[in-house]
Amino acid sequence: MGSFHEEKAVEYYNHNFNCTQGVFTTYAIEHGIDEKLALRIATNFGGGARKGEMCGAVSGALMVLEE
């Protein structure tokens, strides 16, 4: 069984959001960012920033790293 974060990110993905949206939004909500805003912020980072570059899941993870 996966962790809560993993399951929530997959749930977003299964509802037609990209990997970045799933990963970023799952954590952003916990840090007080509105779900709709988080989804909008992460939109263009999916699919390797729409160019097939870095995986969207990695982009989403980098977006939520804290110092």
User: What predicted TM-score, i.e. pTM, was given to this entire model?
Assistant: 0.81
Q: Among the listed ranges 2-6, 51-55, 57-61, 62-66, which one has the minimum average pLDDT value? A: 51-55
| Residues 4-51 pLDDT 10s | 889 999 999 999 999 999 999 999 988 899 999 999 999 888 777 667
Burial (CB count within 10 angstroms: exposed 0-12, middle 13-18, buried 19+), residue 42 = buried
- In this prediction, residue 30 carries a pLDDT of 87
- In this prediction, residue 36 carries a pLDDT of 96
